[in-house]
């Protein structure tokens, strides 16, 4: 028995998320799926589990072609997925969670079902009381609930989508034991992760994706360096690097710790000079975003101190930061950057912040000039939702004050076409020449190496690398991103 993917292809607009992917996964095999953010893992997993339909290509299980248009089709066919955050109904009991989503065709008997839950729990060493409420379970136990449910529904292929992100070390050990047991019982397991050590320790083989293409499917174990190379590619081009004129120490982070509901960064010690460009590397959620917000004064640090021009500014308000030339640009340009429903003129009136009454003619004139200067395709009455991603990013840059000290920016060119990306960097480099310190996050290693003077690597909430981009290699950065010190 095996799951066979043949020539799977899927594109979103102009982006090819899965380019001609073919993999075969045998019975009882634990098959890793490895790649950076944006490599195409999620798309592939969503296609296998019925959430997305591929543009072309086929999926077959035991030689039978599957035609799936929804997750329930997939589970009917025997393919189940455990999501990163287990999708359970929290107010329901475990038994009710089993019943929710049960196909109409299937009869059930509560009593028998309770017995089934106990039987599966016993077999896999789960601690599941059929009548317990799901809301009282830990994330690890919720995963067990989902696995048990999928088994009960008849899954023969189990996809685990980054299952270790939200659970503790012991829970992880338990999960791995379960996975091995499942495989021993004949389950085909697809294990999605970007943690190299996990892939190494549990998978039989691993498929490595990069920018939508399948790079290779090596058998494990193999040298970790090989995996890093497959994941990030070997660096061949010799692109001239940015050479900033580095001035005096402008900003000093003295052991700052910042957190919000979703992420944390701790103990950051760093000095930034005037006009310096610093890239933040790391996997999504490793702490780059919260660090950038902390630097811009949007989120307060709960420990540590920040010095700006040798004065402590740790407890200054966000307003103070803005008035002193700090600026933050988020990755979510529509959700956090621009205001949907306001016209471009209104955006400029808002950012201009002059007198209490607005001179609309002046605001429109300013908007008109900026549109031309930043070559934004749109009119003064356009709204952000009418603009393309590249034009939204240009607009965000156009809205920035002229003299900035520190620009803190997430993913400057994510999702942009090449022309816009080049244009954005031309503008940013110009700003840096005029003395603005730019700190940006990116998941594109080429972008990090080409444009930064220094690269800080974040790994699960700490900075584990501080590299001069002139002296580093993509391999070194890639290893650190994966949490491996060379």
Partner 1 sequence: MKGFTGPIYSYLAAVLVSMVLVSLLLALFRIPIFETYTLLITGSLGSMTKLGDTLMVSVPLIIASASLVITFKAGLWNIGVEGQIIAGAVAASFIARELQMPTQILLPAMIGAGFLGGAFWGLLVGLLKIRGGVNEIFGGLGLDFVATGLVVYLVIGPWSRKGIASTSGTEPFHENAWFPTVEGFRLSPLAVSVSLLVVLMVIFVFNRTQFGLKLRSIGLNPNSSYRFGIPTSRYILTALVLGGAVAGLAGVTQVASIHHRLVPSISGGYGFLGILVVLLAGYRPFLVIPIAFFFSMIAIGSIQWQLRLGLHSSLGGVFQGTLVLSVVLISAMRLLRQRREKHVKTEE
Q: Do the Cβ atoms of 400 and 407 come closer than 8 Å? A: yes
Q: Minimum distance from CB of 293 to partner 1 (Å)?
A: 10
Is 15 a binding residue for partner 1 by CB under 8 A? The answer is: no
- Residue 430 has phi, psi (to 5 degrees) of -60, -45
- Which one, 2 or 316, has the nearer CB to partner 1? 316
Contacts to partner 1 from residues 271-300, by CB under 8 A: 298
Q: Least distance from C-beta 341 to partner 1, angstroms?
A: 4
DSSP for 297-320, written as a single string: TSS--SEEEEEETTEE-TT--HHH
| Interacting span for partner 1 (CB under 8 A) from 31-39, 229-237, 330-338, 455-463 | 330-338
Asked if 337 interacts with partner 1 (CB under 8 A), we say yes
Q: Identify which of 415, 246, 409 has the alpha carbon closest to the alpha carbon of residue 327.
A: 409
For residues 34 and 207, is the Cβ–Cβ distance under 8 A? yes
Task: Strands of 180-288 (E only): list them.
Answer: 188-193, 205-210, 213-216, 249-259, 264-273, 277-281
CA distance 407 to 250: 12
Task: State yes or no: residue 340 binds partner 1 (CB under 8 A).
Answer: yes
| Among the listed residues 312, 336, 373, 417, the single contact to partner 1 using CB under 8 A | 336
Local structure of 347: helix, strand or coil: helix
Binds partner 1 (CB under 8 A): choice among 100, 239, 245, 350: 350
Among residues 14, 237, 356, 361, the one that binds partner 1 under rule CB under 8 A: 356
Exactly one of 16, 318, 368, 400 binds partner 1 (CB under 8 A); that residue is 318
Q: Which is nearer to partner 1, 256 or 298 (CB)?
A: 298
DSSP-assigned letters across all residues of 17-51: EEEEEEEEEETT-EEEEE--TTSSHHHHHHHHTTS
Using an 8 Å Cβ cutoff, are 331 and 414 in contact? yes
Q: Could you say which residues in the range 297-316 bind partner 1, by CB under 8 A?
A: 298
Nearer to partner 1, 204 or 386 (CB): 386
What is the Cα–Cα distance from 393 to 413, expressed in whole angstroms? Answer: 8
Please choose, out of 139-147, 203-211, 249-257, 341-349, the segment that lies near partner 1 by the rule CB under 8 A. Answer: 341-349
Is 260 one of the binding residues for partner 1 (CB under 8 A)? Answer: no
Shortest Cβ 285–partner 1 spacing (Å): 19
Pick from 6, 166, 220, 358: which binds partner 1 (CB under 8 A)? Answer: 358
Q: What is the C-alpha to C-alpha distance for residues 293 and 409, in angstroms, rounded to an integer?
A: 9
- Is 361 a binding residue for partner 1 by CB under 8 A? The answer is no
Closer residue to partner 1, CB minimum distance, 384 or 482: 384
Contact 92, 170 (CB under 8 A): no
Instruction: Return all residues near 45 (Cβ < 8 A) that are at least 6 apart.
Output: 33, 81, 159, 161, 190, 192
13 or 103: CB nearest partner 1: 13
**Exposed/middle/buried for residue 29 (C-beta within 10 Å: 0-12, 13-18, 19+):** middle
Closest CB 328 distance from partner 1, rounded Å:
6
Give yes or no for a contact between 48 and 79, defined as CB atoms under 8 angstroms apart: yes
Beta carbon nearer to partner 1, 78 or 337: 337
Q: Does 319 help bind partner 1 (rule: CB under 8 A)?
A: yes
Return the axis-axis angle of helices 474-481 and 224-232, rounded to nearest 10°: 110
Shortest Å distance, C-beta 384 to partner 1: 9
Contact stretch for partner 1 (CB under 8 A) within 31-39, 43-51, 94-102, 354-362: 354-362
- Does residue 328 belong to the site contacting partner 1 (CB under 8 A)? yes
Which residues in this chain contact partner 1 in the complex, by CB under 8 A?
298, 318-319, 322, 328, 330, 335-342, 346, 349-351, 353-358
């Amino acid at each position: 028995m095996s799951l066979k993917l043949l020539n799977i292809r899927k594109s979103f607009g102009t982006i090819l998320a899965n380019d001609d992917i073919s993999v075969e996964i045998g019975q009882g095999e634990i098959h890793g799926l490895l790649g950076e953010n944006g490599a195409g893992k999620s798309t592939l997993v969503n296609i296998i589990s019925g959430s997305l339909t591929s543009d072309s290509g086929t999926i077959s299980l035991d030689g039978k072609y599957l035609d799936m248009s929804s997750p329930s089709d997939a589970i009917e066919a025997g393919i189940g997925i455990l999501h990163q955050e287990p999708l359970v109904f929290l107010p329901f009991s475990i038994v009710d969670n089993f019943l929710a989503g049960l196909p109409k065709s299937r009869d059930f008997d509560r009593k028998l079902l309770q017995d089934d839950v106990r039987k599966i729990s016993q077999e896999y060493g789960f601690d599941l009381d059929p009548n317990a409420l799901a809301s009282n379970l830990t994330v690890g136990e919720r995963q067990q609930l989902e696995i048990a449910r999928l088994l009960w529904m008849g899954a023969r292929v189990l996809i685990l989508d980054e299952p270790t992100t939200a659970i503790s070390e012991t829970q992880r050990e338990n999960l791995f034991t379960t996975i091995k047991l499942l495989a021993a019982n004949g389950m085909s397991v697809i294990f999605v992760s970007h943690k190299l050590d996990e892939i190494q320790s549990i998978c039989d083989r691993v498929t490595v994706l990069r920018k939508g293409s399948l790079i290779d499917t090596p058998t494990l174990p193999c040298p970790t360096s090989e995996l890093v190379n497959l994941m990030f590619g070997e660096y061949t081009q010799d692109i001239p690097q940015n050479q900033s004129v580095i001035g005096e120490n402008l900003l000093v982070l003295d052991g700052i710790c910042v957190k919000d509901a979703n992420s944390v960064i701790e103990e950051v010690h760093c000095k930034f000079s005037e006009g310096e460009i610093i890239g933040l590397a790391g996997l999504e959620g490793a702490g780059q975003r919260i660090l950038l917000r902390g630097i811009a004064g949007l989120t307060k640090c709960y420990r540590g101190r920040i010095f700006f021009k040798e004065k402590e500014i740790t407890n200054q308000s966000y307003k103070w930061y803005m008035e002193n030339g700090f600026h933050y640009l988020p990755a979510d340009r529509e959700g956090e950057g621009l205001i949907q429903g306001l016209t471009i003129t209104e955006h400029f009136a808002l950012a201009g912040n002059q007198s209490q009454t607005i001179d609309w003619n002046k605001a429109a004139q300013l908007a008109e000039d900026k549109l031309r200067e930043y070559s934004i395709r749109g009119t003064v009455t356009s709204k952000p939702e009418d603009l393309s991603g590249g034009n939204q990013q240009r607009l965000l840059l156009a809205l920035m004050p002229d003299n900035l000290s520190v620009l803190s920016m997430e993913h400057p060119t994510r999702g942009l076409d090449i022309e816009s990306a080049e244009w954005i960097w031309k503008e940013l480099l110009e700003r840096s020449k005029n003395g603005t310190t730019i700190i940006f996050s990116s998941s594109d290693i080429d972008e990090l190496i080409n444009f930064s003077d220094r690269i800080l690597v974040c790994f699960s909430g700490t900075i584990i690398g501080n590299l001069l981009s002139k002296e580093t290699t993509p391999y070194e950065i890639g290893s650190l991103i994966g949490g491996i010190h060379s």
